[in-house]
Amino acid sequence: MAIIVLSLFGTLSGLCQNGGKIQLSGSVVSVTPASTTSNKKEYEYFDVHLYLQFHNLTDRRLIIFKPDSFLGTFTKEFLWGKTRMSFSDSLKTEMEADLFVERLWRDSDPTYSAYEPLAHHMMDLATSEPNPTYFAKIEPQSYYECHVTLSIDNGYRKEQRVGRSPKDIYSIAIPEYSELKLKYFLSTKKLSGKIDLLSAQQKWKKFGELVLDSDGDYYIESDIIRNKPAE
């Protein structure tokens, strides 16, 4: 279930957290109201389409998890002045079309077998080199760009509008916050075994540096993103 936290204080920037290696910027391309049915109940949500750029600020090649295959903790933080609303989910890959439905099942059905995202990443980290399906290499002073779609059920409200005729009724998404941030976090500290983020970083040195913070965790936080599609 989504964890909602209201805080009145700032957070360390992503640049501080990852040692000034990666700067994540982005823009909202579009926000589309959507719905799905689970257990005969309809749930409304929003598909937020984003354009993201991961900038390598160093003089060496860096390695990051591709956003569309990231299975760690992903946080959307909506901002309005000094007020922040954080929504954190440990989700399956967003490439799967039934992502939102699976989360609904997990929340509503106590017999649902929880998916363990770290188990999948352990296989990825055990390889002799970073798999290009799941990891991106960013050359010095260059960037990796991608489009992602986030299916979320908060941060927006749906409004109905009437088109040219009374029968032409459609829905639009209205942002409840003027800005947002994205945060990607993965830690392998609680797992026993020889496969973890730090060992992968060492093993992959000849291919680039896996971006980790001073605690040995994967953490990337975006700049503030204007929560409005480009005109």
Residue 191 lies in a domain: yes
- In which element (H, E) is residue 226 found? strand 225-226
Q: Using a pLDDT cut of 70, give the percent of the chain over it.
A: 69
Q: Of 54 and 168, which is predicted with more confidence?
A: 54
Residue 227 phi, psi dihedral angles, 5° rounding = -85, 60
Q: pTM of this prediction? A: 0.76
The helix/strand/coil state of 142 is coil
**131 falls within a domain:** yes
Strand runs (DSSP E) across 59-178, as ranges? 62-65, 73-80, 83-90, 135-138, 143-152, 156-162, 169-175
Domain membership flag for residue 196: yes
On whether residue 231 sits in a domain, the answer given is no
| pLDDT tens, position by position, 139-150 | 999 999 999 988
C-beta of residue 151 within 8 angstroms of C-beta of residue 34: yes
**Residue 21 within any structural domain of the chain:** yes
φ/ψ (deg, to 5) at 14: -60, -30
Has residue 136 been placed in a domain?
yes
Q: Compute the distance between CA of residue 57 and CA of residue 66 in angstroms, rounded to an integer.
A: 18
pLDDT, tens digit, 9 for 90 and up, residues 75-100: 767 766 544 445 444 333 333 334 44
Q: Look-up: residue for tokens 């079309």?
A: 97
Name residue 1's amino acid: M
Q: What is the pLDDT of residues 120-178, one digit of tens each?
A: 677 888 899 999 999 999 999 999 999 998 888 778 888 888 777 777 787 888 888 88
Domain count within the chain: 1
